[in-house]
Amino acid sequence: MKIKQIIRRIIFFRNKSGYTLENMANELDITPAAYRKIETGDTKLTIERLFCIAGILKVPLSDLLEMENIIEQTHNENAIDYQQKMTSLYQDNKEIYEKLIASKDEQIILLKSLLEKANLQTKERG
């Protein structure tokens, strides 16, 4: 995730919470100008500061990082992998099933021919 997206999320939740730049600066014990630089991207946003901002805004860190999207994307990728594996497994099972059926048919033909031979031998003796 790009830092600009995280900053946009911070601004969104700050506005939603009714906090001003000055409120956030006071809570973080920095000047309003220093906080403004965080929101403009002029000052690097540290992990420590990100945790503090999430706490002040009473927002889970995952919301600021948009973790739901990452989790959803991972879930979708896993679902696609699962579907591909199931399709492959189905195809493998289908091929094995077809081979077993062919083998069964060959066994039946062999057994019928053995039975016919045995019947012919019995008729010849009797």
- Is pLDDT at 72 greater than 60 in this prediction? no
**Residue 31 amino acid letter:** T
Q: What would the mean pLDDT of 63-71 be, rounded to a whole number?
A: 66
Kindly state the percentage of the chain with pLDDT values over 70: 90
pLDDT attached to residue 68: 55
Contact predicate 50/6, CB 8 Å: yes
Other Cβ atoms within 10 Å of 53 Cβ, number: 26
Lowest-pLDDT choice from 37-41, 76-80, 104-108, 112-116: 76-80
**Residue 56 amino acid letter:** I
The model's confidence at residue 70, banded by pLDDT at 50, 70 and 90, is very low
Kindly state the percentage of the chain with pLDDT values over 90: 49
pLDDT attached to residue 42: 93
Instruction: Tell me if residue 85 falls in helix, strand or coil.
Output: helix
For the whole prediction, is pTM greater than 0.75?
no
Q: Decide which of 80 and 50 is more confident.
A: 50
Instruction: Tell me if residue 80 falls in helix, strand or coil.
Output: helix
pLDDT attached to residue 76: 66
